[in-house]
Each structure stands twice: as structure tokens, then as C-alpha cells.
Amino acid sequence: MIMGLFNKTSDYQKACENKIKELCGGFTPSDYFTEKAYSYKYEKNPTNNNEKAILKDECLNKTLALEDIEKRLDELLHMDCNALNSKIRQKYHRNTSEFKTQNDIDNFLGPSYYIKYHEKLEHKRLKYESEMKKNKQKELEIYTKYNIYQGVTVNVILPEKEIKLKYIDNSLSRGVATKYFGLIGLAIQDEIQQEEVNRTISTQMLVVDNGIVFRNAQKDGKDLRIPYESIISVEPHVNNNLKIILLENQIIYMGFVVVAIWDAVKIQNLINDQFMDIVNQNARGREFEEKGWDEISQNEPTNKVSDADEILKYVELYEHGYLTKEEFEMEKSKILHGKKAILECPNCKTPVNYEDQKFCTNCGTKLN
């Protein structure tokens, strides 16, 4: 018999158990569960016992289907599951599936419970919002100090090779030869060997309209430009470094140089996430372009759409009075931004695409 959330061993119950564990975690809550609990219940270190017990019970009494477990968990994370499990389910023997919202629990347990629970929840909410505000301010300070659009110091390992001289000290071997053979002439000599290694540099890196620039990184002292058309993706690498995967099976290894006594790893992870998000959403593999290497655009989005015919269609409708100016501007924005939701950055008011972007490409503000 397999011990776990369920005592029976039917394939369906095993599937339910595995799904619950996947979403909620085991003894330690999963990252998914922890993140949701913090944003819904304002708890940094939540327990998952009540949620797991409720999901298990609802699966067993067949009021919850396997495919609906994730949706149900999302409902439970908005509710007081301690009261739902210990009072409503265990004390009053009510079917928990009847309770879909916190309002259902409030109505069932009455005014006394309502006042106590919501006062406690409001206290946690205010504390949560205060911490989030501090974290947001700290992130903005980090993005300002390590501004990838203005230049950040990085250590880089390039795919090109160079020859380095390597000194081999054979003093130990020479001493052994002299001792046993008595002939210095037979002793092994020190060596200077050549080895081929990837070229490693420390330089300034910045993100521009067309890709990435490494300042003075070429052997002749010129900037090394990596266009988005040559970039396949950016992925995490060991020791908080990144690897930029290029066409032709080439890889650039890069690490941001962070100068901080505290939270150095956290700072590096923030910059890594920002850099990966921006570069990966622009990496595309098109023909190399010569323009746009001087600076990042401040007033217009980086994703240009070459098909002007669709815009001209709306221009004609606008000129003939079939569209208001607001409607025309909205349709034009949809075309220019891939028909996705276009909003403004809360910090600098630059147009941003909240569906695809995690960071503002102008000021680096993290988008929620």
C-alpha cells in the first residue's frame, strides 16, 4: 500500500495526489504555492496543510475533478482555509466544495469571526504593501545604479580563441633527477608552453536598439556589436553568470560585476532577469542592420512593424469620419505592438506591452 494523501491506490487517486503535491508541495510548500500565498494572503512563510487536506477531501468525495484542482487551489488561496478545514469541515461536517469565496465563509461563521479575521488580514495587507513598496524602491535604485542602457561592467568570455603562454615550473622534477642521477644535464628543464584559450575581457556592456554592445572589446579596440539578429537566447549559467547563445553554435559567457557588501547575489539576479527578459524578447535572427547603435530609443517602441498598409487602412477610415481620433490611435497602437495590450510604464510613461514585457525598455522599471 502506498501511503500519502490517499489510502487507496487507484490510478485516478494517484493522479490527484500527484497534482496536489505538484501545486502545493510536500512538507515544504512549493514555490508556486508560496508565491500565490504571499500575494493573496500576505503570508511569506505559509503552511499548506489545510489546503492539501481540503483538496484531498474534495477529490475523495468526488466534488473536485482532477482537471479542476489548480483552479480550486486558486480559490482556496483567497480564503481562510484554517477556518474552512478545522471549523466548517471538521467541526460542522459541511462539504467544503459549497464554499467558493471568503464571503461564503464569512456568512456561515458570522459577524464575530468576520471582524476578527478581516482585521488580521488588513494588518497583514498593510505590512505586505509596505514591504512591496520598499522592495520596489530598492529595485529601482539597483536598476539606476546598474543601468544596462547606459553601461554596466561585465566580465566576458568570448568565443574567439587566443594563444597564451604558460610557464611550467619543473623545479621538483629537476631536483629528483639531480638526486638520483647526479647529472644536472639530465634533469628536466623549466618549460614555457603555449595554449589556446577563449579570450576573456572585462568591459562595459550596454543594451541598444539593435542588440548588445561590448565597449572596446575587439582586438583592435573597436566596440563589439552583437545584433539581435544573431542572438538565439540568453540563459542562466553557473555562478549567477549568463550565456548568450548565438548563431553558428557560438556562445558568449558573461557575468555582471556587482560591488556590494550585502545582497550581492540578489542584485545580480535582478540584473540578470532584466537583461534576459529584454534580450530574449528581442532576439529574432534577421538580417544585420547598420543603424540604431548609438542609443536606446526614448520615445518610441523597439518593435517596428514594416507593414504600413494596415495602418493606412485606418488612416483612410479616420479621414472619412468612420473612426474618432481616440479609436484611430488605439488601432494604430494595436498594429505597432502586435495587437497586444499597450499601457504606460508607471515610472517614465513609455508605452509598454504588459503581456510580453517584464521590464520597461526605457528606464528598467519592473512591470507587474
Least confident of 5-19, 93-107, 206-220, 316-330: 316-330
Are residue 31 and residue 88 in the same domain, yes or no? Answer: yes
Name the residue range of residue 249's domain.
152-282
- Among residues 240, 266, 282, which one ends one of the domains? 282
Least confident of 27-36, 110-119, 359-368: 359-368
Are residue 102 and residue 164 in the same domain, yes or no? Answer: no
Band the pLDDT of 195: cuts 50, 70, 90. Answer: confident
The answer, yes or no, to whether residue 299 has pLDDT greater than 60, is: no
Strand, helix or coil at 39?
A: helix
Are residue 111 and residue 225 in the same domain, yes or no? Answer: no
The answer, yes or no, to whether residue 9 has pLDDT greater than 80, is: no
Percentage of residues in the chain having pLDDT higher than 70: 75
Contact assessment for residue 253 and residue 261, using Cβ atoms and an 8 Å cutoff = no
Q: Which residues pair with 269 in a beta bridge?
A: none
Task: Label residues 20-53 b or e (16+ Cβ within 10 Å = b).
Answer: beebbbeeebeeebbebbbeebbeeebebebbbb
pTM exceeds cut of 0.75: no
Angstrom distance (rounded) from CA 263 to CA 56? 40
pLDDT score of 292: 64
Band the pLDDT of 181: cuts 50, 70, 90. Answer: very low
The answer, yes or no, to whether residue 15 has pLDDT greater than 90, is: yes
Angstrom distance (rounded) from CA 315 to CA 321? 10
Residue 292 lies in a domain: no
Are residue 158 and residue 264 in the same domain, yes or no? Answer: yes
List the one residue out of 88, 243, 94, 232 whose CA is nearest residue 158: 243
Are residue 105 and residue 158 in the same domain, yes or no? Answer: no
Distances from the Cα of 229 to the Cα of 8, 107, 287, angstroms = 55, 59, 6
pLDDT score of 188: 44
Residue 113 lies in a domain: yes
Are residue 157 and residue 115 in the same domain, yes or no? Answer: no
pLDDT score of 174: 45
Residue 94 lies in a domain: yes
Are residue 167 and residue 278 in the same domain, yes or no? Answer: yes
pLDDT score of 111: 95
Q: What is the DSSP letter of 91?
A: I
Are residue 65 and residue 168 in the same domain, yes or no? Answer: no
Are residue 165 and residue 101 in the same domain, yes or no? Answer: no
- Among residues 216, 249, 282, which one ends one of the domains? 282
Say how many domains are in the chain: 2
The CATH number for 186's domain is 2.30.29
pLDDT average, residue stretch 148-155: 95
Residue 212 lies in a domain: yes
pLDDT average, residue stretch 154-167: 80
Reported as a single tens digit per residue, the pLDDT across 317-359 is 767 666 777 677 777 766 665 544 557 777 777 777 766 677 7
Are residue 175 and residue 99 in the same domain, yes or no? Answer: no
pLDDT score of 177: 42
Residue 1 lies in a domain: no
Distances from the Cα of 114 to the Cα of 36, 47, 82, angstroms = 23, 22, 14
pLDDT score of 262: 84
Strand, helix or coil at 286?
A: coil
- Among residues 227, 250, 282, which one ends one of the domains? 282
Are residue 182 and residue 278 in the same domain, yes or no? Answer: yes
Least confident of 7-11, 68-72, 267-271, 304-308: 304-308
Residue 329 lies in a domain: no
